[in-house]
Chain A
Amino acid sequence: MLDLTPKEIIERKGLRINPCKTCQPVGAVYAALGVHKCMPHSHGSQGCVSFHRMFLSRHFKEPAIASTSSFTEGTSVFGGGSNVKTAVKNVFDIYNPDIIAIHTTCLSETIGDDLNTYIQQMEIPEGKIVVHSNTPSYAGSHISGYFNMMSGFIKYLAKNTGEDNGKIGIFPGFTNPGDMREMKKIAKLLGADFTMFPDTSGVMDAPMTGNYEMYPKGGTTIPEIIGLGDCKKVLALGELTSMEPAMELKRKCEVDFDCLPLPIGIEATDAYVTALSHFAKTEVPYALEEERGQLVDIMLDSHAYYDKKTVAIYGDPDTVLGITSFVLEMGMIPKYVLTGTPNEKFTKKANALFEKFGVTDCKAKASGDLFELHQWIKNEPVDLLIGSSYGKQIAKAEDIPFVRAGFPVLDRYVHSYMPIVGYKGAIRLVELISNALMDRQDRDCADEDMELVM
């Protein structure tokens, strides 16, 4: 497995090997799927959206709908105006969404297609909406595509009527439906009136009923997105993912926002709970305090199996920072933390966490790749690996216990239903981490050392 990866590291400037990111458009599709009755539309050649639908379907084991402008060579020469206008007409005719969310690709960006103009020229049926966002694949990552699409919805739709609606907007970051449900559960327990945007729960975890609903019950509704402009405040969860659209909403509708980390682990969840409690002017209910107490109880009970163990964490920036923060709370050492997304804020935030918990010899890198992570591990190994399915090769090659978390998880089921956020999510992470390490201990120990009670 990965036998050709040498221990010796040479600095690479041209070759990306085993990436830890993908391109903007898939993030745009995922954000658009979190809007009720929305058809994501890819303005490019049809392979892009074919890949994106494959990727999302394999992670969620759910339909991932999206249409395409199906560029040909001629389209690339003469521009995609005619294609996108035809596409929008056909999508409304055949699939009848309430809104189409167009995102661009490297192809349409390189030829300079102007979607603003095209959308103005389109025949859009009464009561239907078309929005767009620029998501060139040659900049940023799928995370940028996600927040750019969010900003696109806000630019087109959010309105400040001058009268606040008493709500708080919650931007959940690039997370699973299971995480979004947990964040909503906490907000409800605190009595906060909120709009979560986007919200893929009820869409990418829709139940089996025997009937296929192209537009399942979930997703942020259009009136809710319009109403973001009248929110009293926004909680942007995960600064590297959610701050841009929060700033966009602030620019357009003067809605203030607070940036908080994704609520992964105790402190980040405490911050989320506290912020909502302040907003809703409610006491934190016993139900949440009970969960928090259970989490701390579990950590005290189980710490011996993970204390000071070293871990490598990779994936999307805010998710990695969240897990890093939590493993530090657990007393582990996040020896390597890496994201493929280019954003130096990631490195700064990770280093700040290392400093806060007084750990040394830990390394953080943005714009990295899994080939490099593997080389680091070959030079100085770790006890545990946490990240997407793409790390399974490294885990096998180096025989390291492995916990799947983040995007994408292509090789396991149920993960997208289960949170890693909130106190419940943290409890789940402790279970995943301690099970991985304890299973390994059982596997490797001598027969005479096999413990029935652990």
Chain B
Amino acid sequence: MDKRTKILDNYSARVFKNRKDHIVELEDAADPQSIAANSRAIPGVMTNRGCCYAGCKGVVLGPLKDVVTITHGPIGCGFYTWGTRRNKAKAGDDGKNFIEYSFSTDMQEPDIVFGGEKKLKQAITEAVEIFKPACIMICSTCPVGLIGDDIHAVATWTEETYKIKCVAYSCEGYKGVSQSAGHHIANNSLMKYVIGTGDKAPTQKFSVNILGEYNIGGDGWETSRILKRIGYEVISVFTGDGSYEEIKNAHTANLNLVQCHRSINYIAEMMKTKYGIDWIKVNFIGVDETVRSLREMAAYFDDADLTARTEAVIADELANIADDMAYYKSKLQGKKAGLFCGGSRSHHYQNLLADLGVETVVAGYEFAHRDDYEGREVIPTIKTDADSKNIEEMTVTPDEKHFRLLLSKEKFEQLAKAIDLEAYAGMIKDMGNGTVVVDDFNHYETEQLIELFKPDVFYSGVKDKYVIQKIGVVSRQLHSYDYSGPYAGFKGAVNFARDTTMGVSTPAWNYVTPPWRTVPTLEGKIGGEE
């Protein structure tokens, strides 16, 4: 029985029929089989997925530090997205950092029965009075969509009444099939209402936006540190330690860098159409990948000084971490890993693990789409279903005032052959033959995968971390980095290597089996005979 069949073996016919297309055993990774993705989870399978609200408010909007983001709904949703994701932020010049706060309308039964718009307006009035924010965002939860509160009208009312920016997001939890729908909804409205509304021009020759970098554990700060060292100006970050004030000016950057493809590719594409800004798929997780990303950025700008500075910084940073990386590699070489995260990291971290000599034997995503697995070339062949059709596909047109192309058509095409220009090859092609890829992995499959692959370390989230450890395999959280980090860039690679080494080698593993389980504690003969 192959591994895939073993994983599926215990399922009923109905569950088998659904799950079989979400699990692929790679025979020839270079020529990937198709995988089913971004479709409904089966009720009752204990999926690790969250909801649309989690993707919109929790992931994309939550990190915007100068925005009062009000969750319109009962208290739970706002409570759970308060301080739980580790998107770090420092207040900017305006002194505003709302990351430490949670705002909710805390809807009660009468609000559900008679409508919650009045309470939402009251909440906004109070937020303005107490905090005087430049921007308020409103995120809906499930009941809001059902009772028909018009949060977009409330946003318009807010702008007219208080002369501040207000954007509403209809990101009810039941929309789409996972967090992914929420990313899309957040992308659409940031594009529609925020990007392009500022007019602060870049001050330096080479400017970039970092898209899909949420500054978990300070990743964005490490990435920005390296970029600034080389001489780039970072106009805005979407959205880790990001701000409304900065992303208003995102359209003024020369180039978009896409880190998390899944959650932000919509904005990258729309900004290309509307403003002519090219994007490249970077990856600042992993030493080799960070180097590749920096070199591709230099290749894009094709400037002798910039290229020289890039190489100088790379050489210096590599020299700084060489001893540490060699040490940790000596500890980790030959180990096997499982990697399950949201929609991009399971790919990114394979590169970092490879730097350390660790082989990824099984990987998958919670909410990725086929293009994240198989590469963007499959996008035209992805069929939309009823759930994805409910999420608006926004069409943008070139902005006459701001549209400009940095590269000629010929130059673009020539460069596209050399670097990941507006391209992403997906995770699968980087994986080895005989490895298994699982989409929307669930609790049961996680147990099966560990049994089958016996990885030395399994990277996942907090919901399965303790299950995995109870089985006897160390589990590190890749959503929150187990409260460590940063893991990005050069210094981050060392942190990651240190944490993984610590996890597999902590002495507690030696004490799991009590001595009396292996050596009898009672000595003597039956019946007390001499």
**B121 x A14 contact (CB < 8 A):** yes
**B470 x A46 contact (CB < 8 A):** no
B93 to chain A, nearest CB (A): 14
**A17 x B102 contact (CB < 8 A):** yes
- The answer to the question of A107 belonging to the interface, with a C-beta cut-off of 8 Å to chain B, is yes
**B44 x A87 contact (CB < 8 A):** yes
Residues of B within 8 A of A87 (CB): 43-44
The answer to whether residues A57 and B146 also contact, given A110-B112, A139-B108 and a CB cut-off of 8 A, is no
The answer to whether residues A139 and B143 also contact, given A19-B104, A74-B386, A86-B43 and a CB cut-off of 8 A, is no
**B76 x A67 contact (CB < 8 A):** no
**A50 x B48 contact (CB < 8 A):** yes
A150-158, A209-217, A379-387: which lies at the interface: A209-217
- The answer to the question of B471 belonging to the interface, with a C-beta cut-off of 8 Å to chain A, is yes
- The answer to the question of B49 belonging to the interface, with a C-beta cut-off of 8 Å to chain A, is yes
Residues of B within 8 A of A109 (CB): 143
- The answer to the question of A65 belonging to the interface, with a C-beta cut-off of 8 Å to chain B, is yes
A1-9, A165-173, A284-292, A347-355: which lies at the interface: A1-9
Per-residue CB proximity of B21-55 to A under 8 Å, as 1/0?
A: 00000000000000000001111111111111110
**B45 x A90 contact (CB < 8 A):** yes
A20-28, A224-232, A253-261: which lies at the interface: A20-28
Per-residue CB proximity of A96-119 to B under 8 Å, as 1/0?
A: 000000000111011100000000
B188-196, B219-227, B417-425, B461-469: which lies at the interface: B461-469
- The answer to the question of B307 belonging to the interface, with a C-beta cut-off of 8 Å to chain A, is no
Residues of B within 8 A of A138 (CB): 74, 107-109, 111-112, 143
**A10 x B471 contact (CB < 8 A):** no
Per-residue CB proximity of A33-53 to B under 8 Å, as 1/0?
A: 000000001001111101101
Cα-based distance from A19 to B472 in the complex (angstroms): 37
- The answer to the question of A269 belonging to the interface, with a C-beta cut-off of 8 Å to chain B, is no
Residues of A within 8 A of B46 (CB): 65-68, 94-95
Per-residue CB proximity of A59-75 to B under 8 Å, as 1/0?
A: 00111111111111111
Cα-based distance from A278 to B51 in the complex (angstroms): 51
B171-179, B229-237, B267-275, B427-435: which lies at the interface: B171-179
Question: Which chain B residues in 89-134 approach chain A with CB under 8 Å?
Answer: 91, 95-98, 100-109, 111-112, 119-127, 129-131
**A15 x B122 contact (CB < 8 A):** yes
A44 to chain B, nearest CB (A): 7
**How many residues of A sit at the interface, in one of the four size bands?**
35 or more
**B147 x A90 contact (CB < 8 A):** no
> Who on chain A is nearest to B125 by CB?
A14
- The answer to the question of B70 belonging to the interface, with a C-beta cut-off of 8 Å to chain A, is yes
**A137 x B76 contact (CB < 8 A):** yes
CB within 8 Å: A-B pair count: 263
Which of A6, A45, A340 is most buried by chain B, counting CB atoms within 10 A of its CB? A45
**A83 x B173 contact (CB < 8 A):** no
The answer to whether residues A15 and B70 also contact, given A46-B41, A65-B46 and a CB cut-off of 8 A, is yes
- The answer to the question of A84 belonging to the interface, with a C-beta cut-off of 8 Å to chain B, is yes
**A63 x B470 contact (CB < 8 A):** yes
Residues of B within 8 A of A23 (CB): 74-77, 79
- The answer to the question of B11 belonging to the interface, with a C-beta cut-off of 8 Å to chain A, is yes
The answer to whether residues A4 and B97 also contact, given A54-B80, A72-B387, A73-B174 and a CB cut-off of 8 A, is yes
> Who on chain A is nearest to B145 by CB?
A76
Residues of A within 8 A of B462 (CB): 54, 57-58
Residues of B within 8 A of A106 (CB): 73-74, 76, 107, 112, 141-143
- The answer to the question of B395 belonging to the interface, with a C-beta cut-off of 8 Å to chain A, is no
Residues of A within 8 A of B327 (CB): none
Cα-based distance from A76 to B174 in the complex (angstroms): 7
Cα-based distance from A212 to B451 in the complex (angstroms): 11
- The answer to the question of A185 belonging to the interface, with a C-beta cut-off of 8 Å to chain B, is no
Question: Which chain B residues in 369-387 approach chain A with CB under 8 Å?
Answer: 386-387
Per-residue CB proximity of B77-92 to A under 8 Å, as 1/0?
A: 1111011100000010
**A95 x B444 contact (CB < 8 A):** yes
Cα-based distance from A208 to B390 in the complex (angstroms): 45
**A107 x B470 contact (CB < 8 A):** no
Residues of A within 8 A of B142 (CB): 44-45, 71, 76, 105-107, 110
**A51 x B54 contact (CB < 8 A):** yes
Residues of B within 8 A of A73 (CB): 174-176, 387, 390
Cα-based distance from A67 to B95 in the complex (angstroms): 42
Cross-interface CB contact of A10 among B15, B76, B126, B465, cutoff 8 Å: B126
**A57 x B466 contact (CB < 8 A):** yes
Tally of chain B residues near chain A (CB < 8 A): 94
Per-residue CB proximity of A123-150 to B under 8 Å, as 1/0?
A: 0000000000000111101000000000
Cα-based distance from A395 to B148 in the complex (angstroms): 40
Residues of B within 8 A of A111 (CB): 146
The answer to whether residues A22 and B79 also contact, given A46-B47, A106-B73 and a CB cut-off of 8 A, is yes
**B42 x A212 contact (CB < 8 A):** no
Per-residue CB proximity of B430-447 to A under 8 Å, as 1/0?
A: 000000000000011001
**A19 x B79 contact (CB < 8 A):** yes
Residues of A within 8 A of B80 (CB): 22, 51, 54-55
Cross-interface CB contact of B105 among A15, A21, A75, A86, cutoff 8 Å: A15
- The answer to the question of B521 belonging to the interface, with a C-beta cut-off of 8 Å to chain A, is no
Which of B101, B465, B468, B470 is most buried by chain A, counting CB atoms within 10 A of its CB? B470
**B42 x A70 contact (CB < 8 A):** yes
Residues of B within 8 A of A70 (CB): 40-43, 47
Cross-interface CB contact of A72 among B146, B177, B512, cutoff 8 Å: B177
- The answer to the question of B518 belonging to the interface, with a C-beta cut-off of 8 Å to chain A, is no
Residues of B within 8 A of A410 (CB): 84
Cα-based distance from A45 to B55 in the complex (angstroms): 13
**A47 x B54 contact (CB < 8 A):** yes
Residues of B within 8 A of A64 (CB): 463
**B10 x A94 contact (CB < 8 A):** yes
Cα-based distance from A83 to B47 in the complex (angstroms): 14
> Who on chain B is nearest to A43 by CB?
B43
Residues of A within 8 A of B178 (CB): 46
**B49 x A137 contact (CB < 8 A):** no
Cα-based distance from A46 to B174 in the complex (angstroms): 8
- The answer to the question of A252 belonging to the interface, with a C-beta cut-off of 8 Å to chain B, is no
- The answer to the question of A93 belonging to the interface, with a C-beta cut-off of 8 Å to chain B, is yes
Cα-based distance from A50 to B52 in the complex (angstroms): 12
Cα-based distance from A150 to B48 in the complex (angstroms): 26
Cα-based distance from A2 to B83 in the complex (angstroms): 13
**A16 x B43 contact (CB < 8 A):** no
- The answer to the question of B203 belonging to the interface, with a C-beta cut-off of 8 Å to chain A, is no
Cα-based distance from A75 to B146 in the complex (angstroms): 12
A156 to chain B, nearest CB (A): 20
- The answer to the question of B204 belonging to the interface, with a C-beta cut-off of 8 Å to chain A, is no
Residues of B within 8 A of A88 (CB): 44
Residues of A within 8 A of B91 (CB): 3
Residues of A within 8 A of B95 (CB): 3-4
**A211 x B174 contact (CB < 8 A):** no
- The answer to the question of B513 belonging to the interface, with a C-beta cut-off of 8 Å to chain A, is yes
Cα-based distance from A63 to B401 in the complex (angstroms): 54
Which of A57, A83, A212 is most buried by chain B, counting CB atoms within 10 A of its CB? A212
- The answer to the question of A415 belonging to the interface, with a C-beta cut-off of 8 Å to chain B, is no
> Who on chain B is nearest to A69 by CB?
B43
**B470 x A206 contact (CB < 8 A):** yes
- The answer to the question of A12 belonging to the interface, with a C-beta cut-off of 8 Å to chain B, is yes
**A4 x B467 contact (CB < 8 A):** no
| Listed A/B pairs (18) with beta-carbon separation below 8 Å | A10-B129, A16-B106, A19-B102, A21-B75, A44-B173, A45-B51, A63-B470, A68-B46, A70-B47, A84-B43, A90-B15, A90-B42, A93-B12, A94-B45, A106-B112, A208-B470, A211-B471, A371-B101
Q: A10-B130, A51-B77, A65-B443 are in contact. List 18 more A-B contacts (CB 8 A).
A: A4-B131, A12-B126, A14-B124, A15-B122, A15-B124, A21-B75, A23-B74, A23-B77, A47-B54, A57-B463, A75-B174, A76-B174, A87-B44, A95-B46, A95-B444, A137-B75, A139-B108, A208-B469
